Amino acid sequence: MYIEQKYLNIVSSQLLRFKKTNDFVWNFRCPYCGDSQKNSSKARGFVFRKESNLIYKCHNCGVGASFKNLLNHIDPKICNDYIFEKYKKNEPEVDIGKFTQPKFMKGPSPLKSLKKVSSLKHDHPVKRFVESRQIPSKVHYELFYAPKFYEWVNKIIPNKFPSLKGDHPRLVIPFLDENNKMFAFQGRAFGNEIPKYITITLDPDKNKIYGLNRLDTKKPKLVVEGPIDSLFLDNCIAVGGADFTRLEKENTTIVFDNERRNYEVLKQIEKTINLGYNVVLWPDDIKEKDINDMVISGKTKDEIQTIIKNNTYQGNMAKIRFTTWRKRNA
């Protein structure tokens, strides 16, 4: 069950009130029903061992699920990584140990021990990756290089990765609040390692939003899925695995990835439309999956922002457009 516990730790940053209460027992607020609406401290969702498997049960709404189905509900992309690793590789026999609740570190920022991408030579592997993605050089100083990602994370959250087997370098993308204080970070693989993204929260009470340190709250804002995509657009933040529907609706436009055949994405788009958000429905001539791919294909920032502006819908117009858009891409 090492792989299951590994992936539970990876998605723990997306689960409110997450904690390990006993050997092979984890508790958090139910991601299906949202748990108590009156008491935010109640957490009645449990993952526990049954025979040789981990399963999920909520004692509020009664939902039960296999570990794979729970993971798919929380984060389908990470679930795909889990399935690949589970069934394509032999599972290592490693004791997962105890889970330690994330806490803010006192003293110097943990980023102090890492090199900024802006300081690396052009032939450095992570520098080459960042430049190949055409990430603007003006933000390279906000990105960092961790030569041994698991080891570095364990210095912040002891035993987050009980086994250092397979440790590898990653691009570190810090999530900074309005005061430039790091409350989460994402480790992005630039090789073939899985999962591609590992997002870790240091403050479980904060919503995992990337780009708050650069956001002008007085201006309209764009909200994308991935932190890297947000670096190409004006006044743009990224949810980093958080729920779009926790964001305020005023002056907010949701920009989903262009994955029109992905059932989970379609469900999220429909949900945000029904809640009254401004939502972008990409035109048929856009073939790229996300903002970064559009930039790599040759589109400029101004061109992309014009496409977004011309294809933003809200309310009944969004519902009508979405119905047609979904049928056309079925």
The type of residue at 262 is N
d(CA 203, CA 48): 24
Q: Check residue 104 and give its pLDDT.
A: 46
Q: Which domains does the chain have, with CATH numbers?
A: 2-88 (3.90.580), 115-201 (3.90.980.10), 212-328 (3.40.1360)
d(CA 183, CA 206): 7
Burial 262-275 (b: 16+ CB within 10 A, else e): beebbebbbebbee
Structure tokens at 48: 């526990």
Q: Check residue 241 and give its pLDDT.
A: 67
The residue among 61, 60, 52, 58 whose CA lies nearest residue 70 is: 58
Measured in residues, the chain has a length of 330
Q: Check residue 175 and give its pLDDT.
A: 95
DSSP letters for 208-266: --B-GGG--TTS-EEEESSHHHHTTSTTEEE-TTS-GGGS--TTEEE---S-TT-HHHH
Give the position of tokens 């607020």.
Answer: 29
Structure tokens at 294: 């559009």
d(CA 313, CA 322): 9
d(CA 82, CA 106): 33
The residue among 43, 18, 174, 22 whose CA lies nearest residue 101 is: 18
Q: Check residue 330 and give its pLDDT.
A: 61
- Long-range interactions of 120-125: CB distance < 8 A, separation 24+: 120/145, 125/169, 125/190
Q: How far is CA 227 from the centre of its chain?
A: 8
Across the 330 residues of the chain, what is the mean pLDDT of every consecutive 10-residue run? 83 84 88 82 89 88 90 85 73 41 58 95 96 96 96 90 88 94 93 87 84 94 96 94 80 92 85 94 94 97 97 95 81
Q: Check residue 36 and give its pLDDT.
A: 80
Q: What is the pTM of this model?
A: 0.74
**Which contiguous run of DSSP H or E holds residue 68?**
helix 67-74
